[in-house]
Amino acid sequence: MEENGDGRDAEPYGVLLYYKYTSIHDVASLAGFYNTHCRSLDLFGRIRVGLDGVNATIGGKFSALEKHISVMRSNSLFDGTDFKLASCGHRSNENIARECGFTSLSVRVVKVLSFTNISPDP
């Protein structure tokens, strides 16, 4: 691992946020893909996959996040998705939690992402 003179990893870290409301036919397969793919890139964060779409908040090295975006854009399921990527500085002391707020990867299958079925108060 390349480091700066102060002991910090030289590559910047970032946070990526995105969601896509769309019909997902094989939720378990997509969740499995996320789990394998994100772990291979050493990404951390929270990903929720439901029949009505995906909601992701993930962090890691900026280059890994850019690779993730590239892979997701190659899947037509994510056409038109707005990937919001922001820098959060450099990881210090092997602790992403301090810089980006993540300590592990959580990929979960949920019943519903949206709240469109909730009716407003009278």
pLDDT of residue 83 exceeding 50:
yes
Classify burial at 53, counting beta carbons within 10 Å of its beta carbon; exposed 0-12, middle 13-18, buried 19 or more.
buried
The class of domain 16-109 in CATH terms is: alpha beta
* pLDDT at residue 80, as a whole number: 95
pLDDT of residue 39 exceeding 50:
yes
Largest Cα separation within the chain, whole Å, is: 61
In this prediction, residues 9-19 reach a mean pLDDT of 85
Report residue 71 as tokens.
Answer: 């892979």
More confident residue, 58 or 6: 58
Specify whether the CB–CB gap between 99 and 90 falls below 8 A: yes
* pLDDT at residue 112, as a whole number: 85
Percentage of residues of the chain with pLDDT beyond 90: 60
For the chain, the domains span 16-109
In this prediction, residues 59-87 reach a mean pLDDT of 94
